[in-house]
Structure 1
Amino acid sequence: METLPGFGGRLLTPGAPGYDRARRVRNARADRRPVLIARCTDADDVIAVLAHARGHGLPVAVRGGGANVAGWGTCDDGVVIDLGGMKRIDIDPVARTAVAEPGLTWGEFDAATQEHGLAVPGPRNADVGIAGHTLGGGVGDLSRQHGLTSDNVTFFDLVTADGRHLRADADTHPDLFWALRGGGGNFGVVTRFGFRLHPVDGVVAGPLVHPAGQAPAALRTARDWLAGAPDEASLIALLWTAPPLPFVPEHLHFERCAVLVPSWFGPPEQADEVLAPLRHGTARPVADRVTRLPYTTYQRLLPSPPDVTRQHVYNRGELLTDLTDTTLDLLLGHWKTAGPNFSVVLGALGGAIRRAPAGPTAFTHRDAGWFVELCAQWYGNADSSEHLTPARSAWQALQEVTEGPYVNLLPDPEPHWVRAAYPDVTYARLARVKDTWDPDNLFRFNANIPPLAAKENDR
Structure 2
Amino acid sequence: MTTAAVTLPGFRGRILTPGTPGYDRARRVRNARVDRRPALIARCADVDDVIAVLAHARTSGLPVAVRGGGANVAGWGTCDDGIVLDLGAMKRLDVDPLSRTAVAEPGLTWGEFDAATQEFGLAVPGPRNTDVGIAGHTLGGGVGDLSRQYGLTSDNVTFFELVTADGRHLRADAEHHPDLFWALRGGGGNYGVVTRFGFRLHPVRGVVAGALVHPASQTRTALRTARDWLARAPDAASLVAVAWTAPPLPFVPEHLHFERCAVLIPSWFGPPEQADEVLAPLRYGAARPIADGVTELPYAAYQRLLPSPPDFARQHVYNRGELLTELTDATLDGILGHWESAGPNFSVVLGALGGAISRAPAGPTAFTHRGAQWFVEICAQWYGTADSGEHLEPARTGWQALQDVADGPYVNLLPDPEPQWVRAAYGDATYARLAGLKDVWDPDNLFRFNANIPPLAAGAKETDR
Aligned counterpart for 1:223 among listed residues 227, 230, 233: 227
Between the aligned partners of 2:39 and 2:339, the Cα distance in structure 1 is: 41
User: Is the aligned partner of 1:443 residue 2:439?
Assistant: no
Aligned counterpart for 2:197 among listed residues 164, 168, 193: 193
Aligned counterpart for 1:128 among listed residues 132, 136, 143: 132
Aligned residue in 2 for 1:165: 169
Letter of the 2:321 counterpart: G
Aligned counterpart for 1:386 among listed residues 373, 383, 390: 390
Aligned counterpart for 1:305 among listed residues 309, 322, 339: 309
Between the aligned partners of 2:128 and 2:428, the Cα distance in structure 1 is: 30
Q: Deviations over 1:169-226 (max 9, x none)?
A: 0110000000000000000000000000000010000000000000000000000000
1:34 aligns to what SS in structure 2?
coil
5 Å matches for 1:205-354? 205-354=209-358
Between the aligned partners of 2:397 and 2:19, the Cα distance in structure 1 is: 40
Between the aligned partners of 1:353 and 1:77, the Cα distance in structure 2 is: 40
Gaps of 5+ in 1: 455-459
Between the aligned partners of 1:71 and 1:298, the Cα distance in structure 2 is: 27
User: Is the aligned partner of 1:7 residue 2:11?
Assistant: yes
Q: By how many angstroms is 1:307 displaced?
A: 2.1
Q: By how many angstroms is 1:423 displaced?
A: 1.3
Aligned residue in 2 for 1:370: 374
User: Is the aligned partner of 1:178 residue 2:182?
Assistant: yes
2:205 aligns to what SS in structure 1?
coil
Q: Deviations over 1:69-127 (max 9, x none)?
A: 00000000000000011100001100000000000000000000000000000001111
Between the aligned partners of 1:198 and 1:332, the Cα distance in structure 2 is: 36
Q: By how many angstroms is 1:20 displaced?
A: 0.2
User: Is the aligned partner of 1:150 residue 2:154?
Assistant: yes
TM-score by length of 1: 0.98
Between the aligned partners of 2:327 and 2:172, the Cα distance in structure 1 is: 37
Aligned residue in 2 for 1:457: none
Letter of the 1:281 counterpart: G
Letter of the 1:83 counterpart: L
Q: Deviations over 1:27-70 (max 9, x none)?
A: 01110000000000111000000111111100000000000000
Q: By how many angstroms is 1:309 displaced?
A: 2.0
Letter of the 1:26 counterpart: R
Letter of the 2:76 counterpart: W
TM-score by length of 2: 0.97
User: % of aligned pairs identical?
Assistant: 85
5 Å matches for 1:58-137? 58-137=62-141
2:9 aligns to what SS in structure 1?
coil
CA RMSD in angstroms comes to 0.7
1:98 aligns to what SS in structure 2?
strand
Aligned residue in 1 for 2:406: 402
1:309 aligns to what SS in structure 2?
helix
Q: By how many angstroms is 1:429 displaced?
A: 0.2
Between the aligned partners of 1:25 and 1:358, the Cα distance in structure 2 is: 32
Q: Deviations over 1:218-277 (max 9, x none)?
A: 000000000000000000000000011111001101000000000000000000000000
1:440 aligns to what SS in structure 2?
coil
Letter of the 1:167 counterpart: R
1:421 aligns to what SS in structure 2?
helix
1:167 aligns to what SS in structure 2?
strand
